[in-house]
Structure 1
Amino acid sequence: MSIFRLAHLSDLHLPPPKGAFGWRDLLSKRLLSRIAWRRKGEEHRPEVLAALVADLKGQAHDHIAITGDLTNFASKVELEAARRWLEALGPARDITVSPGNHDALIDPGQAQPFASWAPWLGDSGEANFPQVRVRDGVAVFNLCSAVPTALHLATGQLGAAQLERLDALLGDSTYHDLFRVVLLHHPPVPGAVSKRKSLVDQDDLRALLARHGADLVLHGHAHEAMVATTPGPDGTMIPVLGVPSASAAGGLGHPAARWHGVEIARQADGSREVKVVARGLDPKTSQVAELGRYVLTQAGRLAPQRG
């Protein structure tokens, strides 16, 4: 039996460095985000994120998936600071980043706004989507739902071109015998978030998953530990898992910081067993600890691991 361990964290909201907000931003959506940060800054604490990352590094893992919102205003200064943070986290080939809506807050006026993050987006060296990374029997399909939006909106969109490429990739027999994990920031299931925060073309994505299948979908955005399913081929159900913010102190109605370890165990007969280990800030001790162990059922749900 071999085990591939995928660590999932999301919504880091790294503290804005000096120069992240300029006078030109007074006439853009960044002004509202800056006002909101005065409140959110008390919730998203760098020391909490540091403790969570230290715990993650102390646990066995083969790859790290980060599903967006590394920044707050999507300024060039923030994007560069996030790149340096990623460099400190570990080798780029072992980390995959799917950008979030805060990473694309306004139109950057350039074709590839995430060019500086390219080593963490996939193996192509380019900032395009989707990309597929194959690691020890696991295929990670990295999508980008981050698009600039109007005031008071935090919606996401994959777009026709990205969905068309994803259709071809999921249908490629090269990946059919691998454990297929799909990454994106916005949850692709109805009701997970309000309409103003939703993935506008989620029906199109679910149609692709129903046609081609996948083994797991990971997302962020909701700042909640979420468990849902979406239909796969032939009546199967694909599990969809979300994780709380990795920097949340536990106020403002959201749960405290957490990361998930997804353990994919391959048996000699070709079958797979998937377990999820939840680790995060224990509100009783304010220390990062194990919060629970779960087994992924055939129905795509999590059941507490016994024994």
Structure 2
Amino acid sequence: MSKAQGLRFAQLSDPHLTSLDGVRWQQLMNKRVLGYLSWRHRRRDEHRGEVLDALMRDLRSIRPQHIVVTGDLTQIGLPVEFRQARLWLDRLGDPERVTVVPGNHDAYVRASWAATFSLWEPYMRSDADVRGAQAAGRLLFPSLRVRDGVAFIGLSSATPSAPFLATGALGSEQLQRLRRLLRETRERQLFRVLLLHHPAREQDEKWRKRLTDGDALCELLQQEGAELVLHGHSHRSTEVSISHGGHEIPVFGIPSSSAIGRRPGRRASYHLYQVQREGDHWSLQVEVRGYRIDSGSFVRQHERQLSLPVISSTSR
């Protein structure tokens, strides 16, 4: 097969872009009061508007063909925050070129879908020609969006958790639907990018912050495969892998895209991925772009090149 044009896309995560100024105490009569105190005493000084502005400038200069956001756009999941985040998403790009999956901060407590996640549906919903594209609520996931040979498969690990926990879960039904999608997209020989908020492997996160059915997800991926897994949640840069059929599926986690970086290794960065098919292999270039305080801008930090096999039903 001749060399294809490919796709360049960006991954952002954990922008925590909303403000809680003006929130009334009546809105905090549950776990949200803990999140509010965390924001007031720490997070509002860590997640900065000037960093997000620099991010937006950099993206407009580079002009990736697609952008994925792997969760935690809000602080404590209030309806007013979802409205703020929708305005920011509209600035980021058209829903056709921006894909969002939710994070645990976006599902801090149980809340009305109509007042919260419904505002983001254009950015989360599957392509119109995908089976179940008109589903609502958590049945939106897994979502499927295909762009230039790349299949973005979005998962929701966002579930309300008890105070002092930041766990996530996919659930057996979502995993069952994911298995079908992975098989269908493999048959089409698409480059499958799995998007979720929590790290896929349970051992990569603290017990109170882990994906509780991560082992089930990893077992599924070992059986069905994928080309790339992307997540956020940990607010740090990570790279691990999951074995499938004699090769490794790369798994990348990235820091918050808005963090000023008061702790080592936590300063804002994002990833640019260039995917291109070359015969029986995929070429994957990964570029890390990080925020520099001295220049107030994002700059290229480093990049690497990976080669991944094209997996078909016969090579499974």
Instruction: Compute the TM-score of the two structures, normalised by the length of structure 1.
Output: 0.91
1:62-77 to structure 2, matched below 5 A, reads 62-77=65-80
TM-superposed CA distance for 1:113, in Å, is 4.5
- Helix, strand or coil: the match of 1:292? strand
Q: Distance in 2 between matches of 1:116 and 1:134?
A: 22
- Cα distance 1:220–1:262, how it changes in 2: closer, same or farther (>3 A)? same
Secondary structure in structure 1 of the residue aligned to 2:18: coil
1:252 positional shift: 3.4
The C-alpha deviation readout for 1:91-148, integer Å capped at 9, x for no partner, is: 1010000100000000114489511111100233644111110111010100000010
1:288 to partner: Cα distance: 1.6
Q: Alpha-carbon deviation of 1:256?
A: 1.0
- 5+ residue gaps, structure 1, are 300-307
What is the identity, as a one-letter code, of the residue corresponding to 2:235? H
Aligned with residue 303 of structure 2, among 293, 302, 306: 293
Q: Does 1:241 align with 2:242?
A: no
Unaligned ranges ≥5, structure 2: 128-132, 310-316
Select the residue among 144, 148, 171 that pairs with 1:159: 171
SS in 1 for 2:165: coil
Aligned to 1:26: 28
Q: In structure 1, how many angstroms separate the alpha carbons of the residues matched to 2:50 and 2:265?
A: 17
What residue number does 1:190 align with? Answer: 202
Distance 1:111 1:286, change over 3 A: closer
Q: Deviations over 1:22-77 (max 9, x none)?
A: 32233211100011002111110011011012102211411101000000010000
Q: Which residue of 2 aligns with 1:97?
A: 100
Residue 5 (structure 1) aligned to one of 3, 8, 20: 8
Is 1:273 the counterpart of 2:283 in the alignment?
A: yes
Q: Distance in 2 between the 1:140 and 1:208 partners?
A: 17
2:302 maps to a residue whose letter is G
**What amino acid maps onto 2:289 in structure 1?**
R
Percent identity, please.
Answer: 42
Q: Give the TM-score normalised by the residue count of structure 2.
A: 0.88
1:258-284 superposed Cα distances (whole Å, 9 cap, x missing partner): 1100011222x2422101011111356
- Residue matched to 1:224: 236
| Cα deviation, residue 191, structure 1 | 2.9
Paired residue for 2:158? 146
Aligned length, in residue pairs: 296
CA contact (8 A) 1:52 1:280 kept: no
Letter in 2 for 1:240: V
Q: C-alpha deviations, 1:222-281, integer Å up to 9, x for none? A: 11111010122x2221100011100000113442111100011222x2422101011111
Query: 1:165 aligns to what SS in structure 2?
Result: helix
Amino acid at match of 2:194: V
Q: Distance between the aligned counterparts of 2:124 and 2:299, measured in 1?
A: 29
Q: In structure 2, what is the equivalent of residue 215 of structure 1?
A: 227
Tell me: CA distance 1:175–1:144, structure 2 relative to 1, closer, same or farther (3 Å). Answer: farther
> What do the CA deviations read for 1:202-223 (whole angstroms, capped 9, x no partner)?
0111111111100000000011
Cα distance in 1 for residues equivalent to 2:153 and 2:187: 10
Give distance in 2, aligned partners of 1:254 and 1:76. 32
Matched residue of 2:6: which SS? strand
Q: Counterpart amino acid of 1:79?
A: F
Q: Is the 8 A contact 2:288 2:301 kept in 1?
A: yes
- Equivalent residues of 2:6, 2:277 under 8 A apart: yes
RMSD of aligned C-alpha atoms?
Answer: 1.9
CA distance in structure 2 between the aligned counterparts of 1:177 and 1:26, rounded to whole angstroms: 48
The aligned residue for residue 251 of structure 1 is 262
CA 1:260–1:242: 2 relative to 1, 3 Å: same
User: Aligned residue for 1:119?
Assistant: 122
